[in-house]
Amino acid sequence: MAIVQGVVIVALEAVIATQNVMQSSMVPSSNSTAIERLNRIKWENVAFIGFQVWVMAMAVDATVQQNAAEVCTLAILYVVCAVLAGLQILDNDRWQVNLNGSVSNIMPLMTAHAVEIALTVCLVVFAIAFVYLSYKMVLEFGWEIYKKIGADLAIQKMYRVFQFFVLCLKIDIFVEFLVSCFYFLQFVIKPGNISNWQSWIFLVITVLMLPMLWIARQAVSKESITQMIVFMVFQLLVIFEFILVMIGTSSDAWYIWICFVAIGIFFAVMTIVLGSVCCHNFNRGLSPFVQRGSTKSQMADPNRASNAYSNISWNIDDD
């Protein structure tokens, strides 16, 4: 269902972006404010398309990894998508009023408005359907976790915290890295801004984001407190960056952008909180269940060897 939704939403957003570009070309060059805002809306549509592609990938990953926390969060994100689509309609209404009279033809903006309404309706329907399916999937995934970990409630609780932390890292790929890249490309590298000290902060933090997210995933596998502390300090810098972004753009009344930045700050805080809890759970028996790749196989081999030895012992006793 996630793939079907993604294809439908991406197609509708592409139509909206095309209409906004057409409308921008019809605005007189003297109205620089409207031209800049319509260009921002175009990139906003591109960001929304990227968001949908990312959500599709997350949905596939949640199904393959059988991550109940990820499935529940995706259900919430679908609701957030519907809210953001509603904000697009309000923004369109505002610019129809602003351009009416100063521009002879606002038909592309009106067409985009109609498509935005259809987009919002589709997102609401998809959100309701996904919430229901998420409930069914979580019940099944709960049984899979039980089979993987066993009946130890303490281990199950720590494993769920680990799942939520890894989920936050995946969400941070969009709400931190991609949003930061978007801001850097749209605002920071403008002529006259690149020499600003804030520009260098944005550049360094943006470049380090993906490596730091990878370090955080390694930290929970290796149970490295040092790596986790480094990552959490970096997340504080991300929050500082996003506060600067919020201060710098809040006067533009760009509702969807403000929502993206606010969501980024929220998940940065959640990542720090969950990372702290994961640090508290280090060396308490969770490590064998959170490994990946060759490390996971190496940790599983001794168990298989132990079982084989146990079987041989029983065979000897039987003789």
Which DSSP string corresponds to 69-110?
HHHHHHHHHHHHHHHHHHHHHHHHHHHHHHHBTTBS--HHHH
In this prediction the pTM is 0.73
Q: What is the DSSP secondary structure assignment for residue 190, as one 8-state letter?
A: S
pLDDT of residue 122: 87
pLDDT of residue 301: 45
Bridge partners of residue 103, in order along the sequence: 100
Angle at alpha carbon of residue 198, lines to 172 and 42, rounded to 5°: 60
Closest CA to 107 of 43, 12, 19, 31: 19
Rounded to an integer, what distance in angstroms lies between the CA atom of residue 35 and that of residue 32? 5
pLDDT of residue 310: 40
Rounded to an integer, what distance in angstroms lies between the CA atom of residue 274 and that of residue 139? 23
pLDDT of residue 230: 94
Each residue of 204-247: pLDDT tens digit?
A: 888 999 999 999 988 888 888 999 999 999 999 999 988 888 88
pLDDT of residue 33: 74
* Encoded tokens for 187: 């605002």
What residue type is 121 in one-letter code?
A: V
**Left if phi > 0, otherwise alpha if psi is -120 to 50, otherwise beta: which for 118?**
alpha
Query: CB atoms < 10 A from the CB of 32, how many?
Result: 10
Asked if 218 and 227 touch (Cβ cutoff 8 Å), the reply is yes
Dihedrals phi, psi of 283, to nearest 5 degrees: 60, 35
pLDDT of residue 307: 44
User: Could you tell me how far CA 159 lies from the centroid of its own chain?
Assistant: 21
With a cut of 50, which residues of the chain have pLDDT below it?
Answer: 294, 297-319
Dihedrals phi, psi of 103, to nearest 5 degrees: -125, 130
Distance set, CA 80 to CA 42, 85, 181 (Å): 20, 9, 21
pLDDT of residue 308: 40
**Left if phi > 0, otherwise alpha if psi is -120 to 50, otherwise beta: which for 152?**
beta
Closest CA to 98 of 39, 44, 35, 42: 35
The residues, any chain, with a CB within 8 Å of residue 54's CB and separated by 6 or more, are: 173, 174, 178
